[in-house]
Amino acid sequence: MNGAEMLIVIFVFGLAMSFLVAKGIWEAKEYHQKEIERERLNASGNGPSKVIKSEPAISR
């Protein structure tokens, strides 16, 4: 493998890695935005409330 082929391989590998990093950052940003929206809805009282499920009382 000569120098030009090696540069092409490194370039393609670099493009693939930068794509994966950008995709990860994009997904993390979307997840974070959904978390912010969920917290905003919970703070305003319009969102789903956290329900604590308790065991049914045992009649004796």
Within-domain flag for 31:
yes
| pLDDT single digits (tens) 34-59 | 999 888 887 776 655 555 566 666 66
Within-domain flag for 4:
no
- How many distinct structural domains can be found in the chain? 1
Encoded tokens for 38: 């969920």
pLDDT greater than 70 at residue 16: yes
Q: Which residues have CB under 8 Å from 42's CB, separation 6+?
A: 48, 49, 50
Within-domain flag for 57:
no
Distance CA 46, CA 60 (A): 39
Within-domain flag for 23:
yes
What is the average pLDDT score of the chain? 84
Within-domain flag for 59:
no
The CA-atom distances, in angstroms, between 4 and each of 1, 12, 43 are 8, 12, 58
User: Could you list the residue range(s) of the whole structural domain that residue 20 is in?
Assistant: 15-45
